[in-house]
Structures are given as C-alpha cells and as structure tokens.
Amino acid sequence: MQPFSNKKTIALLKSSVLLDNDEAMNSLYAVMYRKVLHFILKNSGSEQDADDVFQDSLMVLYKLAKRDQLDDVTNIQSYFFSICRNLWYKALKKKQKTTTLTEAHHSLPEAAMQISAMLALEKSDFLDQLLKSLGESCRKVLIYYYYDRLKMKEIMKRMNFSSEQVAKNKKSGCMKKLKELIAANPGFKDLLN
C-alpha cells in the first residue's frame, strides 16, 4: 500500500467513522510498522511491546484527528512516530519502576499486582455489565455523540431515526440510563482511569 499524503491521512482518520473504512490506519501500518518495531527492539522492547505501542498510538492519533487537533501537523508520519516513541518511553519508565520495586520489596509488588489485576478484572466485568444493561442502540448513540463527536444529523442517518429531535431525545434518555447504572454501583467510580 502506498503512503498517503499528510492531508489525506488526517482527513481519512477524521472521516473514518463516517465512511466505516480503515484506509488511513492500513496506510500507517504499511509505512510505519517496521520503523516502530525496529525502534522498540533497539530500545529494550519485544515484538509484542511494538504491537501494543503501535495500536495505542493509532488510538491516540484517531482521537486527536476527531478533535481537530492534527490540522497543523506538517508530517503525519513523523508525528505518529513521535507518539509511538513517547508511549514507549513512558511504558519503559513504568517497567523500570516496577523492577526497582521488585528488587527493594519482594512481597509488596506481588500483592500490588494481584490487587491491580483484580481491579482490572472488576473494571472489565463492570464495563461488560454496563454494555449489556445499556443496550446496543444506547451504546452506539452515546459513542457516536460523545466519543466520535458526530453531529445529530449524522447520528439520525446512521441509526435510522426519523428526525434529529428523536436522536437528541434518545441521547438524553441514554445518558439518564447510564447515570442511573453508575449510581446503582457507587464502588465502580473508583475503577475509572
């Protein structure tokens, strides 16, 4: 696959929700994956680390594009690489901290890791529960509006609503439902982050 120009990559990332295609992401994989892999392998990482960092960076890039924060980027590939590099350095720093702790306190990190694993499991369980309780249409409406930042008109088309007002009412109803679900499980607020 040929690399796309700056403008085209950004435009595709921005519109990929609307078009339901992943052209921009595929193009970045074709052009950037090996560079990122080499960088991470040379900097104490593994292939799995590279996969994780690459995917996390794509998510960051997608979100920036949706929030109109890439319009001034002069070179999308260098910019993407700098996101990967920063995420890897952060992960590496975290790994080094854990190593230092392990050396200093043998029993502590194990307990901490168990708690952290339990919290992650609880959080994932809650999100699953939330997904089921919210229902597919509410999940979609909320994600389209708040996460993908789509306009009501677009949501109306995608969800086959009869008018923008119907879409708006649905969004309000779903937010109310979400609020009630969270209120019914106060302990889960601590699982955020």
Cβ proximity to other proteins, 144 vs 161, nearer residue: 144
Q: CA dist 165 to 112, 142, 147, 162, 190, Å?
A: 49, 15, 20, 8, 35
Which tokens in the block code for residue 86?
């920063």
- Which SS3 state, helix, strand or coil, does residue 193 take? coil
Cβ proximity to other proteins, 106 vs 186, nearer residue: 186
Q: What totals of helices (H) and strands (E) does the chain contain, helices first?
A: 8, 0
> How far, in Å, CA of 169 to CA of 140, rounded?
14
> How far, in Å, CA of 53 to CA of 32, rounded?
12
Cβ proximity to other proteins, 157 vs 168, nearer residue: 168
> How far, in Å, CA of 150 to CA of 165, rounded?
15
Residues 34-93 binding other proteins (CB under 8 A) are 34, 51, 54-55, 58-59, 62-63, 67-74, 79, 82
For the bound state, the minimum distance from the C-beta of residue 71 to other proteins, rounded and expressed in Å, comes to 6
Which amino acid type is present at position 92? Answer: L
In the list 11, 92, 166, 182, the residue contacting other proteins (rule: CB under 8 A) is: 182
Residues 110-169 binding other proteins (CB under 8 A) are 127, 130-131, 134, 139, 142-143, 146-149
Cβ proximity to other proteins, 21 vs 106, nearer residue: 21
Residues engaged in binding other proteins (CB under 8 A): 1, 22, 25-26, 29-30, 33-34, 51, 54-55, 58-59, 62-63, 67-74, 79, 82, 127, 130-131, 134, 139, 142-143, 146-149, 172, 175, 178-179, 182, 189, 192-193
